[in-house]
Structure 1
């Protein structure tokens, strides 16, 4: 009887070990996922959107306060911010997997409390593809499915680029991500999208992905187009010299609604929609520039 019990235990342990998955996250920590997760907490909007893009929305039991897409997650419990999650709320949800940013606080404490924590933070197009693949592995979704989703995103960004007329390309763009101000440089995922669309970024990669800049820098650079969220646009005119910038005078400023800004500043599955917004801005403002450059009285 004892031999049969020991043999059964050995088989169970081998099966359990075979089912367990070890993945390295962006902290360079090896995380063991004992079995395909059924209760997921996501504490970064781009990761929430990635889970849903992979068809696993129904497994989410909590998200951060900023996650707002797709609509099906609207009634999920909110568990603090992406940087400062509410540890008690996360633990109370009894998740078998917690997805969070590498910059977030609390990963060590959640791990110490017995939760499986996986930290990821996509910052480039390549990161989005990589993170989508690794999340698929963690959720027991075929990698072929994550590759299919990525191909759709990539093809849609290419289509957005092809939709822009030649005369609208080569424009110099300033993209503001927050009002300090912080801008998106060439090395950010936003900068990568702009480059693929044929725009020229006034913020070089050497400044870092999202540098805090002196507003006078933008005045001196004289961008052809400014892209900014509605909430940032309101105080732009109060900055010294900004009212006299050519882009401001000729209304070559695209200020995006909050739901559009969400798409634009998240490195995730909705990058294709973000590329379409930027492409429309470049096309529209190039046309506006032509109209503004016409001599007075000319139709």
Structure 2
């Protein structure tokens, strides 16, 4: 196995050569939403590695895995000689990768505006300026189409969407909350609490939403089995959805599939008794 010093030397040569290249051809994406963005911009063939959680599209399944947000394998990344590394703002690897001579693009997505901006930044890095903006316009049209599919009576109804086994909720200022708002739903978690506040089960009891959205991930307890939750109208009247892991992953990712996230919520509403 080559030494780290030889890998660093190779990485520096690759970085120097990047100035003469029209666009990066060897890309590492260290976040599922970034992997999805590259592929949605028709550059999946340029990916040489992804993080451990990237699972869409199916074509990335055979790519090397180089860790995640907290434990990116820097040596493995350098060994792949990428000419661009995409990672999120919370990744711990950015400074080290830059110090080793790699081109790094750090992207953060807390809102729809961030997602839109990131798609175009990635498109420009790929040598395809304007492609990100076109992709975003298509997403907006498809989200609007999902809004028209919301069943009558649900517009303006109050929703509570929880994450991480019910310990965290998506507020109205999160990118998830923005998607819910575009569907015409009212979020019971206000923005002043933060984008993804930690809330106890008593919060939902006080808020008494019209619909609950949760997931089957991990040890999540179904709403009817939670202490006190039989008092919730949404539970008594069976107006809650438990999304399967794959579908819930789409809801959680701030990337180019927010239209699919919207569709998952609409499908949930379509299967519930009318309010």
Structures share fold, TM-score greater than 0.5: yes
Q: Is the 8 A contact 1:79 1:85 kept in 2?
A: yes
1:280 to 227, 245, 267: 267
In the TM superposition, residue 218 of structure 1 has moved relative to its aligned partner by 0.8
1:202 to 188, 199, 204: 188
Is 1:267 matched with 2:267?
A: no
Q: Could you say which residue in structure 2 is the equivalent of 1:112?
A: 99
Q: Is the 8 A contact 1:233 1:255 kept in 2?
A: no
1:241 and 1:92 mapped to 2: Cα distance? 54
After superposition, the C-alpha distances for 1:89-121 in whole angstroms (9 at most, x for unaligned) are 211111111100011102111111111111102
In the TM superposition, residue 207 of structure 1 has moved relative to its aligned partner by 0.8
Q: Is the 8 A contact 1:99 1:117 kept in 2?
A: yes
5+ long unaligned stretches in structure 2: 1-15
2:207 and 2:219 mapped to 1: Cα distance? 18
1:245 and 1:223 mapped to 2: Cα distance? 8
Q: Is the 8 A contact 1:169 1:282 kept in 2?
A: no
After superposition, the C-alpha distances for 1:51-97 in whole angstroms (9 at most, x for unaligned) are 00000000000000011000000000011112321112211111111
Count of aligned residue pairs for this structure pair: 259
Is 1:99 matched with 2:86?
A: yes
2:265 and 2:92 mapped to 1: Cα distance? 33
RMSD: 2.0
5+ long unaligned stretches in structure 1: 1-15, 21-32, 291-299
- SS of the residue corresponding to residue 179 of structure 1 reads helix
More displaced 10-residue stretch of structure 1: 62-71 or 274-283? 274-283
- SS of the residue corresponding to residue 173 of structure 1 reads strand
Matches within 5 A, 1:169-180: 169-179=155-165
1:239 and 1:165 mapped to 2: Cα distance? 28
C-alpha distance 256-195 of structure 1, shift in aligned 2 (>3 A): same
1:168 and 1:110 mapped to 2: Cα distance? 48
1:184 and 1:200 mapped to 2: Cα distance? 12
In the TM superposition, residue 244 of structure 1 has moved relative to its aligned partner by 3.0
Q: Could you say which residue in structure 2 is the equivalent of 1:126?
A: 113
1:55 and 1:83 mapped to 2: Cα distance? 28
2:235 to 248, 256, 270: 248
Matches within 5 A, 1:121-160: 121-143=108-130, 145-160=131-146
More displaced 10-residue stretch of structure 1: 156-165 or 60-69? 156-165
Q: Could you say which residue in structure 1 is the equivalent of 2:52?
A: 65
2:166 and 2:92 mapped to 1: Cα distance? 23
In the TM superposition, residue 282 of structure 1 has moved relative to its aligned partner by 2.5
In the TM superposition, residue 232 of structure 1 has moved relative to its aligned partner by 5.9
In the TM superposition, residue 139 of structure 1 has moved relative to its aligned partner by 1.0
- SS of the residue corresponding to residue 61 of structure 1 reads strand
Is 1:193 matched with 2:216?
A: no
1:221 to 207, 222, 228: 207
1:212 to 187, 198, 203: 198
In the TM superposition, residue 233 of structure 1 has moved relative to its aligned partner by 7.5
